[in-house]
Amino acid sequence: MGSELTILGYGEDALTLWALKQQVSKILSEFQDKTSVSDCLIFYRPSFGRHSKIDSSVFGEFDAIIASKEKIYLIESKWDNLAAFKDAEFILREEQTLRHKVFSWYLTHWSKEYLGNWQSFISEHKSNFKIENKTIVPIDSLLSRNLEFILNKIHGCCESISESSIKNVFLFFYNSEKSKHPSKTNASFRVIPIDYSRELEGNFVTM
């Protein structure tokens, strides 16, 4: 048998993937989630339309989504090689926080009875969709099919879904030998700092 493949990555996306492979237990413990890592479902960079426009149904791309038996974690990630990070507070952009609000609405209104029948979902819930500058995802679209798939998978993993079980997470990757992590961000988010200094080879992280 050949030796194990080594993959080296650089930057924010690589660090996110590394964290999803090596640091999920840390994320769960931050919320006292007792789910085994092996029982979690992870989506890496799930996209709901790359450009979130006003009065459209697209709402952008998460860096990751983790579903456990107890909770759903909607994740934004950043790293310390950013001009935008200057002090102890890091505020996420409006379009980033908006996608959490939109996806949380879908999560709390979806049920398995709508599987394969997005039109029924629209008919029953369109009048309740009141998120400013957004429209509900239309039927017979790639976005509706992808959204339906992800919603159904998450509902199959998490035992109970409500607003209280949905957690907005801001992963911040930092090198403790050179930088610090922010302690504050948007009110509805929790900062989870992850030190990657011990994982570096050159400026790359081994995934």
C-beta separation of 140 from 44 below 8 A: no
Altogether, the residues listed in the chain come to a count of 207
Question: Residue 108: what pLDDT?
Answer: 97
User: The whole model's pTM is what?
Assistant: 0.94
155: DSSP letter: H
The chain-wide mean pLDDT, for the chain, equals 93
C-beta separation of 161 from 184 below 8 A: no
Question: Residue 91: what pLDDT?
Answer: 87
Question: Residue 127: what pLDDT?
Answer: 94
- Count of C-beta atoms within a 10 Å radius of residue 4: 6
Question: Residue 89: what pLDDT?
Answer: 86
- Rounded to an integer, the average pLDDT of 116-136 is 94
Q: Is the pLDDT of residue 2 over 80?
A: no
C-beta separation of 188 from 178 below 8 A: no
Token pair recorded at residue 42: 């992870």
**Which residues have C-beta within 8 Å of that of residue 91, sequence separation ≥ 6?**
185, 186
Q: Is the pLDDT of residue 23 over 90?
A: yes
Q: How far apart are CA 192 and CA 170, in angstroms?
A: 6
- Count of C-beta atoms within a 10 Å radius of residue 68: 25
Q: Is the pLDDT of residue 129 over 80?
A: yes
Question: Residue 38: what pLDDT?
Answer: 97
CA dihedral 131, 104, 16, 145 (to 10 degrees): -90
